[in-house]
């Protein structure tokens, strides 16, 4: 695994995503759901909303890094808000 040049922060990052995927799979099996239409006007399931959240979070983090003069963890708060909004309204 040396060639993959692992670091603790990146390992934690991927572990979080893997844990989220497992969690959502379990949720989908335990509590099946019907897709719903939200503000984006197309059907989404919980998994879709997770994807939109993660993709959006990546862009928010980059925008924060490039534009905001504050420390990077501030972007996490923004992303938490984003996630809440996506799961509530999308």
Q: Do 61 and 74 meet the contact criterion of CB atoms below 8 Å apart?
A: no
Binding of another protein by 89 (CB under 8 A): no
Return the number of the residue (10 or 85) whose C-beta is nearest another protein: 10
Binding of another protein by 73 (CB under 8 A): no
Crossing angle of the two packed helices 73-89 and 46-67, in degrees rounded to 10: 150
Binding of another protein by 62 (CB under 8 A): yes
Binding mask 11-40 for another protein (x = CB under 8 A): --xx--------------x-----------
Q: Do 40 and 87 meet the contact criterion of CB atoms below 8 Å apart?
A: no
């Amino acid at each position: 695994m040396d060639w993959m040049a692992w670091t603790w922060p990146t390992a934690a990052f991927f572990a979080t995503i893997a844990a989220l995927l497992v969690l959502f799979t379990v949720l989908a099996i335990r509590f099946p759901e019907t897709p719903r239409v939200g503000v984006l006007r197309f059907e989404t399931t919980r998994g879709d909303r997770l994807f939109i959240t993660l993709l959006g979070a990546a862009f928010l983090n980059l925008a924060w890094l490039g534009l905001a003069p504050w420390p990077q963890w501030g972007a996490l708060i923004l992303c938490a808000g984003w996630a809440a909004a996506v799961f509530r309204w999308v």
